[in-house]
Amino acid sequence: MTPQAIIKANGLSKSFFGNPVLQNVSIALEPGRIHALLGENGAGKSTLINLLSGALAPDGGEIEIDGRSHRRLTPSEARRAGIAVVQQELSLTSDLSIAENIGLGAYPRRFGLIDYKALARKAREVCDLVGLEENLSTPVGDLPLGRRQMVEIAKALFRKPRILVLDEPTSSLSAHEAQTLTRLLQRLRAEGTAILYISHRLNEVMRLCEHVTVLKDGKVTADRSLQGVDAAGLVRLMVGRDPGDLFPHWTPSPERQTIVEVTGFSSGLLRDIDLEIKRGEILGLGGLVGQGQEDLLLGLYGALPASARRAVFNNVAGLPSSVSRANALGLAYVPADRKREGLHLIHSIAWNMMLPDFGKARGLSRRDPAAERKLATELADRLSIKGDLTRQVQALSGGNQQKVALAKWMPADPPILLLNDPTRGVDVETKREIYVLLRRFAAQGKAIVLSSSDTPELVHLCDRVAVMREGGIAALLEREKISEEAIVAAAMGAEAAKVAA
């Protein structure tokens, strides 16, 4: 007989600001099984966890625990039912000790006071499980990131969970710590704990898990046993579409004249790189996260201190020393974190689009509301931003927010666009619209630098791809040499991909 599921979610749906994040998602966790939850960034994994742990209420569907159904699960009900979540972002308090953090919210008491003796005993038990040798009185703020992650796991185990949810637990662990975790999970499985395991490391998933649920754009695309599936099969399940459909047809632009040239460029992580950016091309920046892609964009944009032996921007020698100087040289930058850096969320769409203009206007000059309205409507038309432009930007979906962040630079018609992961968290339809737009810009002779964490995007959209690794350019791939394999190989440091740099 197959074991009964401890927790079952039936047809869960959730939207944020009218933007569906989960649609009709069902999942069942069984005791003694490690269940993998896979999906790309923004597929809805974190939202699903938050629903299962009661941190969010679903818009539709129900959660069934031990056969009892809940329309809305509160965090304390979820805890009582034995659900413990190891969140991706840490929930620890740095001024409290390891033991005090582990017991937080569930302290053993004596006469209303925290029973430190019992706390020490029980905390030591779970610390042994995860291999934490540190003194229990050490403040958590003193620990390196990997150890803190282990404290977080120990904290979840402290409550003796029946259902353990781990959200990318290994992303900050050393190889040794990851091994300890693997052994621990295997033990918990043997003891009958139901485990939901989220990871981007496919071989880990292949090694550890028996069952997989794949989310794609908020929908379940697979819910099956992992038996007989290989890593490539998992990737297909996650991507689930021929990537060709998403991208516009690539045609080379006629104009290929160099517009930016830097040699010996250093900024932030970057050390001594040479780079040429040409009109009419999309230059992709690939590689693992945080290898210097953002430093390159910000350094070129004058937002981060930078130096170069030689630099020419749009026929002017020298690096831009400030953002306004960069704007004057014809550069525009669209940041990755549109909520914090790209947009002013509580202001209207039109207001956001006018912002670069405000920066250029002479101080204390008068605004011209009629002209602003006309311009805003034009921009909205060009980028197909729908609806009332006086709404707050935060009411828009991620994709439309990104279009506003792009639109605001259009009136200045900048010849050089620096884009930092513009399609992160953007729905498929809008992604396609943004791709079409970028290719059109290239055809018009603009130079576009596109940093992206989405490899297919680099492959199908870009004329050249610079793969960054540890603050340098590991490989510069020309159009015919660009492939997912070549980019990943260069990013991981495999030598095969060395092409003329």
Partner 1 sequence: MSSMIRTGDDRLYWRVQGERNRGLMGLFAVVAAFLALYAYLFPGLLSVAGVSKFAQSWLPLALVAMAQAILMLTGGISLAIGATVSLGAVIAATTMSGYFGVAGGIVAVSASGLVIGALCGVIAIRLRLPAIIVTLAASFIIGGLALLILPRPGGAIPGWFSDLLAGNTPAALVLVFLVALLWKLYLATPLGLSLYAAGENPVGAYRAGVPVDAARIAAYAISGLLSTLAGLFIAAQTGSGDPVIGQAFTLNSIAAAVLGGVGFLGGRGTMRGAIAGSLLLSVMINVMFFLGFPPVAQYVAQGLIIIGAVALPQLTARFRRRP
Q: Of the two residues 107 and 250, which places its CB atom closer to partner 1 in the complex? A: 107
Q: Of the two residues 94 and 203, which places its CB atom closer to partner 1 in the complex? A: 94
Tell me the closest approach of the beta carbon of residue 133 to partner 1, in angstroms.
Answer: 9
Among 69, 76, 225, 324, the residue binding partner 1 under the rule CB under 8 A is: 76
Q: Residue 275 and residue 277: Cα distance in Å, rounded?
A: 7
Beta strands in 316-415 (DSSP E): 316-317, 331-334
Count of residues that bind partner 1 according to CB under 8 A: 40
Q: Of the two residues 162 and 403, which places its CB atom closer to partner 1 in the complex? A: 162
Q: Residue 374 and residue 394: Cα distance in Å, rounded?
A: 22
Count of beta carbons in the 10 Å neighbourhood of residue 80: 11
- Residue 72 sits in the site that holds partner 1 (CB under 8 A): no
Of the listed pieces 79-87, 349-357, 412-420, 471-479, which binds partner 1 according to CB under 8 A? 79-87
Q: Of the two residues 117 and 479, which places its CB atom closer to partner 1 in the complex? A: 117
With CA atoms as reference, report the closest residue to 197 among 167, 174, 241, 152.
167
Count of beta carbons in the 10 Å neighbourhood of residue 272: 13
Q: Provide the edge-to-edge strand list for the sheet that holds 416-420.
A: 331-334, 416-420, 447-451, 282-286, 464-469, 472-478
Tell me the closest approach of the beta carbon of residue 81 to partner 1, in angstroms.
Answer: 13
Tell me the closest approach of the beta carbon of residue 53 to partner 1, in angstroms.
Answer: 7
Torsion angle (degrees, nearest 10) of CA 398, 403, 409, 414 = 120
Q: Of the two residues 128 and 272, which places its CB atom closer to partner 1 in the complex? A: 128
Q: Of the two residues 92 and 491, which places its CB atom closer to partner 1 in the complex? A: 92
- Residue 48 sits in the site that holds partner 1 (CB under 8 A): no
Place of tokens 């990013």: 491
Handedness of CA 137, 141, 145, 151 (dihedral sign): positive
With CA atoms as reference, report the closest residue to 355 among 302, 411, 299.
411
Q: Of the two residues 97 and 293, which places its CB atom closer to partner 1 in the complex? A: 97
With CA atoms as reference, report the closest residue to 329 among 369, 277, 293.
277
> Within positions 122 to 141, which residues make up the interface with partner 1, using CB under 8 A?
124-125, 128-129, 135-139
Structure-block tokens of residue 185 = 């999970």
Q: What is the largest CA-CA distance in the chain?
A: 81
Tell me the closest approach of the beta carbon of residue 7 to partner 1, in angstroms.
Answer: 17
Q: Of the two residues 54 and 61, which places its CB atom closer to partner 1 in the complex? A: 54
Tell me the closest approach of the beta carbon of residue 106 to partner 1, in angstroms.
Answer: 6
Structure-block tokens of residue 157 = 């185990």
Of the listed pieces 71-79, 202-210, 313-321, 382-390, which binds partner 1 according to CB under 8 A? 71-79
User: Checking phi first, is residue 158 left (phi over 0); if not, alpha (psi -120 to 50) or beta?
Assistant: alpha
Tell me the closest approach of the beta carbon of residue 271 to partner 1, in angstroms.
Answer: 15
Tell me the closest approach of the beta carbon of residue 26 to partner 1, in angstroms.
Answer: 24
Of the listed pieces 72-80, 166-174, 240-248, 408-416, which binds partner 1 according to CB under 8 A? 72-80
Alpha carbon separation from 206 to 210, 254, 470 (Å, rounded): 8, 47, 28
Tell me the closest approach of the beta carbon of residue 306 to partner 1, in angstroms.
Answer: 19
Determine which helix (DSSP H) or strand (DSSP E) holds 402, and give its type and residue range: helix 398-407
Q: Of the two residues 118 and 239, which places its CB atom closer to partner 1 in the complex? A: 118
Length of the chain, please? 501
Q: Of the two residues 99 and 260, which places its CB atom closer to partner 1 in the complex? A: 99
Q: Residue 323 and residue 490: Cα distance in Å, rounded?
A: 32
Of the listed pieces 90-98, 220-228, 235-243, 369-377, which binds partner 1 according to CB under 8 A? 90-98
- Residue 145 sits in the site that holds partner 1 (CB under 8 A): no
- Residue 144 sits in the site that holds partner 1 (CB under 8 A): no
Count of beta carbons in the 10 Å neighbourhood of residue 386: 9
Stretch 91-120: interaction string toward partner 1, x if CB under 8 A: xxxxxxx-xx---xxxx-x--xxx-xx-xx
Q: How many Å from the N-terminal Cα to the C-terminal Cα in the chain?
A: 60
Among 4, 16, 72, 121, the residue binding partner 1 under the rule CB under 8 A is: 121
- Residue 87 sits in the site that holds partner 1 (CB under 8 A): yes
- Residue 222 sits in the site that holds partner 1 (CB under 8 A): no
Structure-block tokens of residue 265 = 């460029």
Q: Of the two residues 97 and 400, which places its CB atom closer to partner 1 in the complex? A: 97
Q: Of the two residues 95 and 242, which places its CB atom closer to partner 1 in the complex? A: 95
- Residue 79 sits in the site that holds partner 1 (CB under 8 A): yes
Alpha helical stretches, state H, 159-195: 175-190
Q: Residue 84 and residue 288: Cα distance in Å, rounded?
A: 30
- Residue 346 sits in the site that holds partner 1 (CB under 8 A): no
CB 463 within 8 A of CB 282: yes
Tell me the closest approach of the beta carbon of residue 127 to partner 1, in angstroms.
Answer: 8
- Bridge-partner residues for 165, per DSSP? 85, 196
Q: Of the two residues 99 and 376, which places its CB atom closer to partner 1 in the complex? A: 99
- Residue 47 sits in the site that holds partner 1 (CB under 8 A): no
Residues that bind partner 1 (CB under 8 A): 53, 55, 75-76, 79, 85, 87, 90-97, 99-100, 104-107, 109, 112-114, 116-117, 119-121, 124-125, 128-129, 135-139, 155
